[in-house]
Amino acid sequence: MTQELKVLEGAMNGNGLRIGIVCARFNSIFVEQLLAGAKDALLRHGVAAKDITVAWVPGSFETPLVIQRMAATGKFDALIGLGVVIQGATQHAQMINAEVSKAFSQISLAYNLPVVYGVVTTENIEQAIERSGSKAGNRGAAAAATAIEMANLLRQLPIQSRK
């Protein structure tokens, strides 16, 4: 006897979704491309332009605070952080990556909101080019798709006391 399972999956339909994007200006030549990819993906999946809010911060390290403030407004269905961290001679890049990824995860869990990690971490400029709209796709567009899917999945799991 076959039994039907309840399977939940977020639709790729951006209708009515309110999305916040926080962009790091450091390495902005690449981040602009990530933002262009994200905007294009959101609009093509039906998110209205008026429902997309973009904030710019100096570097990836500053993205979590603004993501957190956006989350606290209660006015977004998903948030995306975009940045490009290129490894240098020091440990600076690793430190930024570790802090930012941990912070995104903490904000996401604290606010019950998708916070999508669209920070590209690369060893060199060539890899950054590849991930911001060429050989390896556009990580901004991929982050936008994740935001839409997760926002729609969570709409099927409203927060309520146990019934």
**Which residues are tagged catalytic?**
92
Nearest 5°: CA angle at 157, between 152 and 159?
125
Is the Cβ of residue 61 or residue 76 nearer to ligand INI in the bound state?
61
Q: Render 39-55 in DSSP notation, one character per residue.
A: HHHHHHTT--GGGEEEE
Q: Which is nearer to ligand INI, 91 or 106 (CB)?
A: 91
CB of 99 to ligand INI, least distance (A): 9
Quick one: tokens of 93? 């890049």
# of chain residues touching ligand INI (CB under 6 A): 16
Q: Residues near 23 by Cβ (< 8 Å), separated by ≥ 6?
A: 31, 34, 35, 54, 55, 56, 57, 63, 82, 83
Q: Does 24 bind ligand INI (CB under 6 A)?
A: yes
Residue 86 within binding range of ligand INI, rule CB under 6 A = yes
Q: Give the binding range for ligand INI (CB under 6 A) out of 37-45, 69-77, 83-91, 132-140.
A: 83-91
58 binds ligand INI (CB under 6 A): yes
Binding to ligand INI by residue 96, rule CB under 6 A? yes
Joined tokens for residue 94: 């690793």
**Is the distance from CB of 20 to CB of 79 less than 8 angstroms?**
yes
Question: Which residue lies nearer to ligand INI by CB, 13 or 101?
Answer: 101
88's enclosing H/E stretch is none
Q: Reduce the DSSP state of residue 110 to 3 states and report it.
A: helix
Residues that bind ligand INI (CB under 6 A): 24, 26-27, 58-62, 83-86, 88, 92-93, 96
